[in-house]
Amino acid sequence: MQIDVVTLFPQWFDWFRGQRHVANALEAGHDLRALDLREHTPLTGGQVDDTPFGGGAGMVLRVDVMDHALRAFYDTDPVELRKERRVIALTPGGRMLDDGLVDELAAEPAVTLLCGRYEGFDERIVQHFCSDAVSIGRYVIAGGELAAMVVCDAVLRKLPGALGHVDSAAEESFSVALGGDPEYPHYTRPAEYRGWSVPEVLLSGHHEEIRRWRRARSRERGASGTA
C-alpha cells in the first residue's frame, strides 16, 4: 500500500515512521511519504493560506496552493487524481473514522491524506480534489497531522506483516470477529495480586469455555458502551 500525507510539517512523520509496527509495514514493502505542501506554493514567501472571505478568525488553506502542490507531486490534475486514488481531507466535520472505514482504506492500493491547519481548507479543495473527508472525532485539534497519524496507524497495523502475531488485528476491538463489539478484558501474571484474582476460567485451559467467556464479556462491553 502507498500512503502519502500532504502536510506543512513533513518532519513530524520522521518519528512516526520509526514506530515498530509502522517500520514493520514499511520493511514489508508498504510506503509512507510526507509531502511538503509549502515546497510547491506558487505564492511568494512560502504563503499557503489566506484570510477567510466573509471575515472570521484564523486562516484558510488556499485552493490554488493545493492545486499546484498536488500537480507537482502526481503530475496530474487533482480533479482527475481523486478518480485514481482515495484523496482524503482530514477535517473535524468529516466521516467518522471507525474500524469499517479503516478496513476499507487498508484494502486500497494508494491513499493521499491532506492535512489542514489553522481554520482548515478552502471548501473547494474538499469539493473538487477529495474523494472523502474524514474526522477522528467531534473535537478540533490544531491540524490534520495527528489525525493523519491516527489514520495511518490504524490502517498500517491491519496490513500483513505489521503486527508480530497474525491474529492480533483479526480479533480485536470492533472487528468482525467480535461482532463489532469492544475487545474482552485481558489478564497476565501474577494470577493473584493484592487480592485481585484473574477469572478462574482463563486459568482452566478449556479453550471453548474461554472463547465463550470472552465473547460474553465483549458483548457486555458493547452493550454498556465501556471499552
Which residue ranges make up the site for ligand ADE (CB under 6 A)?
Answer: 90-92, 116, 135-137, 139-141, 144, 147
Q: Of 65, 48, 71, 75, which Cα lies nearest the Cα of 125?
A: 65
The DSSP 8-state label assigned to residue 176 in this structure reads G
Whose Cβ is closer to ligand ADE: residue 16's or residue 213's?
Answer: 16
| CB closer to ligand ADE out of 118 and 171 | 118
Position 106, amino acid: A
The least CB distance from residue 116 to ligand ADE, in Å, is 6
The label of the residue with cell 485481585 reads 196
User: By C-beta, is 116 or 163 nearer to ligand ADE?
Assistant: 116
Residue 138 Cβ vs ligand ADE, minimum distance, rounded to whole Å:
7
Cell of 161: 506483516
Minimum distance from residue 197 beta carbon to ligand ADE (Å) = 40
Asked if 176 contacts 183 with a C-beta cutoff of 8 angstroms, the reply is no
The secondary structure of residue 47, as a DSSP letter, is: -
49-50 and 60-61 beta bridge pairing: antiparallel
User: Shortest approach of ligand ADE to residue 85 CB, angstroms?
Assistant: 19
Closer Cβ to ligand ADE, 140 or 201, answer by number? 140
